[in-house]
Amino acid sequence: MVVCARRLDDQCVGNLGKNLRKARKELGLTQEEVAERSGVQAGEVSRIECGKRDPKVSTLEKLAVAVEMPPGRLLD
């Protein structure tokens, strides 16, 4: 079980993580499967979902493709 500590000072990162997790689960994917689809390490996917990591734009684009969603929707 992963316990996430949110960074309260960066709402966009928190939204990204929440939206990424939701999209991943709606597709029935694990973090490892998203990592495989995107080329982003599973640990990095986990940190982004937990709001501990603010990814580069290129990473955001890779993750969006992996969860079949436009990058902007992950940031909403």
Each residue's pLDDT tens digit in the chain (76 positions)?
454 544 444 566 679 999 999 999 999 999 999 999 999 999 999 999 998 998 999 999 999 999 999 999 999 8
CA angle (42 as vertex; 40, 46 as ends), nearest 5: 110
- Rounded to two decimals, the pTM is 0.83
What structural domains does the chain harbor?
11-75 (1.10.260.40)
Considering only the C-alpha atoms of the chain, give the largest distance between any 2 of them, rounded to a whole number of Å. Answer: 30
CA atoms of 50 and 6, how far apart (whole Å): 6
The distance from CA 9 to its chain's CA centroid, rounded to whole angstroms, is: 18
Transcribe 12-27 into DSSP letters.
Answer: HHHHHHHHHHHHHHHT
